[in-house]
A and B are shown apart, each in its own frame.
Chain A
Amino acid sequence: MKTNHILAILAIVGGISAAFTNHSKKNGLYPDWKFQKEQVEGKRLAFISAHHLADLIYNREEKLILFDTRTWKAHEAYHIPNSLLYDPGIAPKAGIKSGIIVVYGEEEDAALYMLARELRGRVYILKGGMKAWYSLVLFPDFMKFHVRNSDRLEYILRRSRFFGGQPQNTQLLNLEFRESRFREGC
């Protein structure tokens, strides 16, 4: 039957293309990607998501070395806990033997990429920089998350408070608010 074959082909094409697109990573707010490698200005660089960095610090999971590449004033105003203001002298030439090195700036720029390439060891760039840290870790807007499991939302709330932040639109955690938009059951 010809119509059925056409429908099947459409479904397969729609499905295959879906498999190769990064739906959730596209909006940058999906909390579950941890590390990814990307081709930036001709070189492959490794990135860490703000969510995963926050998880690692909050859960004390790994030995972390954080380098802040911003100005002294910015670092003084607020820096990610336990991060060091970077200056060329503090990174030993031989590289740091164990632990994850994360470099971050206000945003990602060419200087940050160059630094990441120069350092030796497991170096990651904070994807989105401090902007991402503010919007995903310190001041997460629950309206923007498409994670709807309330356990995960509560965890993000606790984590945000741990870092001294303030989550936004927490009424989404309130089941009654969600139910007031939608009556449960159909």
Chain B
Amino acid sequence: MSGVAGLFGGEPLLSVRDLEVQFRTDAGSTTALRGVSLDVHPGETVAVVGESGSGKSTTAAAVLGLLAANGAVTGGEILFDGQDVVRLSPAEMSRLRGAQIGLVPQDPMSNLNPVRRVGAQIVEALEDNGVARGADAQARTVELLEEAGLPDAARRAQQYPHEFSGGMRQRALIAMGLSARPRLLVADEPTSALDVTVQRTILDGLTSLTARLGVAVLLITHDLGLAAERADTVVVMYRGEVVEKGPAREILQNPQHEYTRRLIAAAPSLASRRIAIAKETGDVEVAAQDLLAPSLGEGVTTAPVDAPAVADAGARPDAIVEVEHVTKVFKLRGRGLFSRSTDFTAVDDVSFTVPRGRTVALVGESGSGKSTVARMMLGLTEPTSGTIRFDGVDVGSGRDRAAEVTFRRRVQPIFQDPYASLDPLFTIYRTIEEPLRAHRIGTPAERRDRVHALMEDVALPTELLRRYPGELSGGQRQRVAIARALALEPELVVCDEAVSALDVVVQAQILHLLADLQSRLGLSYLFISHDLAVVRQIADVVCVMEKGRIVEQGTADAVFDEPQTEYTRTLLDAIPGRTLELGV
């Protein structure tokens, strides 16, 4: 865990001084890093925190000498063990990498060579770094994999990456990064692509291993909570510059820079029921751009959210969605020519309701069946048994064409990846207008007014309407996706990991926007997420799913404050920085 910076006196192992990095693009060069300075002492863990585009990953790449081809160090120096690595030849740098400076990359799915056995990929690293050869290297590889916490390492070493789970791959990458016993390990978002519970065990393993080996760690992360929990020193970066650095706890409890405060406010792992409480207290005048909006300070508590009390409920049922004993069984095709297919129960006897105007969250790890529930809710997949009623009408029963169209209007999805869910060849205007046209709503002039109003709703400038998705940031795209979903004035919005692909600060903005829209338009949300911290900010009711079943459901406060099952507790414990105190 964290220590005191003073512990690591003496000469720094890595000293970045006034680093400037530029990238050449078609539009001229852009400066990605400006005057970045930081020190890492032997054995110390330094976390670099910031959103994407802050320059944290560029800093890591510069230290490794692995900047993209159009990038170059244009000023300052990177002293590793007193030697300026910027001035090293490619061959000298290649010798330094692996042997002296290791890397644990971000995405375990894409960072292993898919066509070579996992073991062989470590063996070749050992050989090229001159650590061991042949049979020695093989034996060492198994030791390294064991050390990184991979069970049954000898057999696993003979397998290919596609036969590994995400967590196993990340262990292999950790073993690889540490294989030549480097003195500095650059860990670039080492767990952000993993499930929360896996994240925690991997991080624990990494922390204890590097501590035991005395390896200094440069931890790159977007999550301030994680940084504070794992690092001795935290460096906060914003738009290519270091805005604040110091001992982890000090930064967290007494942030000096405005951006650090925003980051703390936005960090999902540190957040409490900010939005939900704001909603309850009627303090929902949340300007979507305002990151610090309804800042509550400590000690604010309100009554837990309970029975929905929405004004317009009238004679209609209180619940907009009723899911009763829904089960979904998939047939898995057998491997061979004649082998029989086997059944896989993705969703197992799931029941819950979504109260009108409220948010119900389904949380769980990958494979828990939450996305299958979302697909059934959207009418994209038929349940094997059980019923889903939308506003009292069975979703699964054979609807005619007209009923189908009406249903589609009233239920809209927002998906995870704003990069993939917008047609790259459509302008923003066409993207948002499309559902209106598809449902033949309004005249062209009316549709134009509606699109402009929607842009206002999601706090986007109308100038963007002529642009293409490729020209927008991730947050802007997700706002477009929300505008598109709202175009048909739906009653239920199914958000399938709608903020998971976004940076923390942007995530907070989108969550505020969703909360704001809900209170203004009376929307109901089914919010699917693996991220409990995010769920806590937005959900009224939480259903925890594990292996296709709902293992626990209740109000957000009940689930978070008094979890009833072991599984929920594990999930909650896995949120990094949960026990840390805030300084906002």
Q: Do the two chains bind?
A: no
Chain A interface residues toward B at CB < 8 A: none
